Structure 1
Amino acid sequence: MPKRSKPKLPMHALVAAIVVLLQFPQLCFARTRNRYCSPAVCGNVSISYPFRLTTQPPNCGDFPFEIHCDSSNRTVLVTNQGVFYVQNISYERNTVRAIDPNLAVDDCSLPRGTLSFWDYIYRNLPYSLVFPFTSMYLVNCSMPVNSSSYIDASRCSVNSSGSDPPRDSYVYFLDERTHPHDFDESCRIEALVPIMVESINDLLNSDIYNLLKQGFEFSWIFPSKSLEATPFRALIRNLKYALQSYADSFIYYLFKGPHVANNSYYPPNSTYIICLLITGGFIISRTLPGIVCLIVLVIYKWRRRHLCADDTIEEFLKQQKDLMPIRYTYCEIERMSNDFKDKLGEGGYGSVFKGKLRSGYFVAIKLLGKSKGNGQDFINEVATIGRIHHVNVAKLIGFCVEGSKQALIYDFMLNGSLDRILFAKENKIDLSWKKMFDIAFGIARGIEYLHRGCDMQILHFDIKPHNILLDENFTPKVADFGLAKLFSVDASIVSITAARGTIGYIAPELIYKNLGGISYKADVYSFGMLLMEIIGRRKNMSTAVEHESQKYFPSWIYDRYYHGGDVDLGEVTDDEKIMVKKMVIVASWCVQIKPNDRPSMSKVLEMLETDVELLQMPPQPFQLPFEVPTDQSHGSNTELSHENSSTGETSALLYSSNEISIDIL
């Protein structure tokens, strides 16, 4: 037997049900009103819902103003901008007639009542208010104004003799529709006075005051009777009313009735405090378990992620039983670094601190920051330099792995990194060209050893001055293998998932697929860019230059030597000039756009040792031989431009020396 589908509730029925539910609080609060809000009389005016006396609880009336019965038994309508005397309230016609108190007495007082705030009241009432009157400005001027739109507002004659003495101020009535730009500069607004007339422009002073003494009238209409009433507006009005009624009743009826003191209603301070505590306690009791569960879930996920990274690292360490470095505990790391007091530097990988072993040997402790790819940066460092030893490669002495705390311990390099020698603005060490050539040659030896001197081919992918360390004799050491990869020595082309390196040194084939496969030639390119900075002793891309042509140094230095020009190197020997020229030629070969046009590091070493006369300048290294589509980039966020490539400006834009590392795995 087929299942019978449940009948769907029509939309209009759903809206009606919601309206009824929102009307429910009104019914409940109406019953409460009958118990505590009895009708009152002040003078000849009867006061009942929706109005209330100031001595009654707030939910006895809906209007956001009160009625006060003064000592003279006058009914006073209290608003936040003034008071009015109530002349009559008709509950049959839903109308109120009121008058300004200053007009209720026969003297020279001017009307001061203002009703400019009633639009705000209208938007927040459960009823529609109707105001069948206009308003006029009462302005006070320091000088007399001769204009037909300014009607004298003086209520009494100043001097019966007809000669007016000097006055300090002059009061006028102005139509409410008067534009602010038409106000005289000597006048200021005193009040916005209601009057039962469409316009005052054709009235005299006496006519205006006769109308004002009759008072003004307004009415309230239930939503069902309002022309603007719709189910949606009724829903919104009832929602506002339900929330307001709840707030009032919660405070004033939670403790079994209102509290009256000194003929005025007010809740004691303890009532507000207790209500807040009850409401807050209810909310907390409902939300606290969810918050606790969320915190527990976040902690669990965080610990699970780090435990996963820890398991990966531990599994790797068990497989590498022939590792030379020593494993230290984190307490030992803290002790040897004196609680990390002597900070040497900081980067995206973490921070480096100076430490001292028990033997008195100084070390550099690299405290890794947030691990990427399940501790892959840590594994890369240990897997590459943990098993090798070369005079031009930084030596890994030990490491530490305790949960998320990971550290690597290296030989301490007294002269820091090469970038301090090349780019330092203060306390710069000025080395001879012979020493700079030796540093370049040592870096090349270190990279060549990584490519061919181990059982596995190690590609560094982040050769730059910051990652070249110098010992006390300025012997260079290739360091920071966080982006390194191990490949078979027989692999001419390697596979990586995304571009890795630092903008300014990264090889173009890591960004453009159709330039060629990725191989050890990527490190050759980075070495070429580093060699250019050694030659210029400045960043390759710099705006602090005398001529625009010198902005991109590799292009400028190539053009100088290619066209047989000379470079001012200061007081140098002929041998040093030869060294500089040799480095320029080698660097220009290394930074060729196509990987196949670049030499291997073995060839680089051979060229650095060859007589300069036997070396040939390469073709323009910064020229893209074809158009490269923009959709072939490998996840690099750098915006690439291909205009003016023949002048080298493209390379300057593509490979400006910004210290931004890329490793998108």
Structure 2
Amino acid sequence: MIASYGSLAPKRYMYLEVMKITSSRSNVLGKGGYGVVFKGTLLDGRLVAVKLLHECKGNGSEFVNEVMSIGRTSHVNVVSLFGFCLEGSKRALIYEYMPNNSLDKFIYSEDPKEILGWDKLYAIAIGIARGLEYLHHSCNTRIVHFDIKPQNILLDKDFSPKIADFGLAKLCHTKESKVSMTGARGTIGFIAPEVHSRTVGVVSTKSDVYSYGMMLLEMVGGRRNVKSFVAKSSEKYFPDWIYDHFAQDEGMQACDVTSETAEVARKMTLVGLWCIQVLPIYRPTITRVLEMFERSLDELDMPPKQNFGGLVDISAHNMDVQSASSTSRRSERISPVTSKTLQRPPTL
């Protein structure tokens, strides 16, 4: 399949070459359900991260999808793919090395604001949005990622963010407004509601915007939005809590916000709440998100409150905990988002 892409395909390595690059898999960077990531060095001295996937049968469509999705990209906020290996059941992806690992290692830590600081978190949030805007609107082929979450945001030596893990991405022709697709995509807690139910709306690049908004709120709160071990729903679902406490000083203080950092934290919260509007038509595009970041806090309106708790129940009911969501047709219809156009919250 990859051969059919011709010159568009990244460099292909033999398995023996991969073993040399990783010094026979001696330095493990991380492990997951997909396989193991090793640190390695190319012949020209560049450090790389080699994702060695578990051996599997079949045509490896998800592997090919990741190779061809990221192989088409070139942006400062999207991780670079240097090459791949596809030899029988052995599959590997060779990426640029990110010394500061992934975003989740910082925002779920004991003192995330102490380690990164609000200014750095804010810069990371904008960088991720720029990377998404590139994927959605600036590639020769539009890419919808479908798995935006802190674990898939890598940080370079300067803590600049790079979007990674394109295994679930969907390629779309830039001139097409609708794309039909099937299959499960996403991670529970970050999947847009339209992925669960066709009645909510069509699936589009705004599904990535929803995931981005959920991630923004996790960056603000320094905790996972969904905590299955918490009994009270108000404590269990952070977006619900932060909406109710946004105007209260103690609400922001609980997120380690000081008077000096309040504007940054409140702006990130407002943008995040707009991004997770239940109906896709009320969410901003990622381009609109970047425009919102450029405005002062006083220029941003509070979005209407959503039935956040109900979404958690729907998600838990409709999805297997180990997999992702079912999908529907996707379109790219854009409507402006301001509270002036929303006289009341949408009826769900």
For Structure 1 versus Structure 2, the TM-score category normalised by the shorter chain is 0.7 to 0.9
For residues 259-317 of structure 1, give each alpha carbon's deviation from its aligned partner in whole angstroms, at most 9, with x where no partner exists: xxxxxxxxxxxxxxxxxxxxxxxxxxxxxxxxxxxxxxxxxxxxxxxxxxxxxx3xx32
The whole-number CA distance in structure 2 between the counterparts of 1:661 and 1:530 is 19
Aligned positions of 1:35-434 closer than 5 A: 313=1, 316-323=2-9, 325-371=10-56, 374-424=59-109, 430-434=115-119
Superposition deviation, residue 547 in structure 1 = 7.4
Superposition deviation, residue 372 in structure 1 = 7.5
Q: Which residue of the partner structure matches residue 650 of structure 1?
A: 310
Q: What fraction of aligned residue pairs are identical, expressed as a percent?
A: 46
Alpha-carbon distance change, 419 to 332 in structure 1, aligned in 2, over 3 angstroms: same
Superposition deviation, residue 373 in structure 1 = 6.0
Q: Which residue of the partner structure matches residue 28 of structure 1?
A: none
Contact 2:127–2:160 (CA<8 Å) still a contact in 1?
Answer: yes
Q: Which residue of the partner structure matches residue 75 of structure 1?
A: none
Q: Which residue of the partner structure matches residue 258 of structure 2?
A: 572
Contact 1:590–1:599 (CA<8 Å) still a contact in 2?
Answer: yes
Superposition deviation, residue 492 in structure 1 = 2.9
Superposition deviation, residue 387 in structure 1 = 2.0
2:173 to 476, 479, 488: 488
The alignment's TM-score, normalised by the length of structure 1, stands at 0.46
- The answer on 1:558 being equivalent to 2:246 is no
2:144 to 452, 455, 459: 459
Greater relative contact order (Cα 8 A, min sep 6): structure 1 or 2?
2
The whole-number CA distance in structure 2 between the counterparts of 1:509 and 1:466 is 23
Superposition deviation, residue 322 in structure 1 = 3.1
Unaligned runs of 5+ in 1: 1-312, 624-647
The whole-number CA distance in structure 2 between the counterparts of 1:363 and 1:571 is 37
Q: Larger deviation: 604-613 or 367-376?
A: 367-376
SS in 1 for 2:312: helix
For residues 239-269 of structure 1, give each alpha carbon's deviation from its aligned partner in whole angstroms, at most 9, with x where no partner exists: xxxxxxxxxxxxxxxxxxxxxxxxxxxxxxx
AA aligned opposite 2:293: L
SS in 1 for 2:7: coil
The alignment's TM-score, normalised by the length of structure 2, stands at 0.86
Alpha-carbon distance change, 546 to 530 in structure 1, aligned in 2, over 3 angstroms: same
For residues 569-624 of structure 1, give each alpha carbon's deviation from its aligned partner in whole angstroms, at most 9, with x where no partner exists: 547353x2111111111111111111111110000011011111010011013x2x
Alpha-carbon distance change, 579 to 321 in structure 1, aligned in 2, over 3 angstroms: same
Superposition deviation, residue 384 in structure 1 = 1.1
The whole-number CA distance in structure 2 between the counterparts of 1:435 and 1:554 is 22
Contact 2:66–2:165 (CA<8 Å) still a contact in 1?
Answer: yes
For residues 159-214 of structure 1, give each alpha carbon's deviation from its aligned partner in whole angstroms, at most 9, with x where no partner exists: xxxxxxxxxxxxxxxxxxxxxxxxxxxxxxxxxxxxxxxxxxxxxxxxxxxxxxxx
AA aligned opposite 1:649: G
The whole-number CA distance in structure 1 between the counterparts of 2:77 and 2:210 is 19
AA aligned opposite 1:615: L
SS in 1 for 2:30: strand
SS in 2 for 1:514: coil
Contact 1:470–1:476 (CA<8 Å) still a contact in 2?
Answer: yes
CA RMSD of aligned residues (A): 2.6
SS in 1 for 2:302: coil
The whole-number CA distance in structure 2 between the counterparts of 1:614 and 1:664 is 37
2:269 to 584, 596, 605: 584
The whole-number CA distance in structure 1 between the counterparts of 2:57 and 2:216 is 30
The whole-number CA distance in structure 2 between the counterparts of 1:420 and 1:611 is 30
Q: Larger deviation: 562-571 or 456-465?
A: 562-571
The whole-number CA distance in structure 2 between the counterparts of 1:336 and 1:663 is 36
AA aligned opposite 2:324: I
The whole-number CA distance in structure 2 between the counterparts of 1:649 and 1:506 is 14
- The answer on 1:549 being equivalent to 2:211 is no
SS in 2 for 1:331: helix
- The answer on 1:662 being equivalent to 2:347 is no
Superposition deviation, residue 653 in structure 1 = 3.2
Alpha-carbon distance change, 495 to 664 in structure 1, aligned in 2, over 3 angstroms: same
2:289 to 598, 604, 621: 604
- Larger Cα Rg: Structure 1 or Structure 2? 1
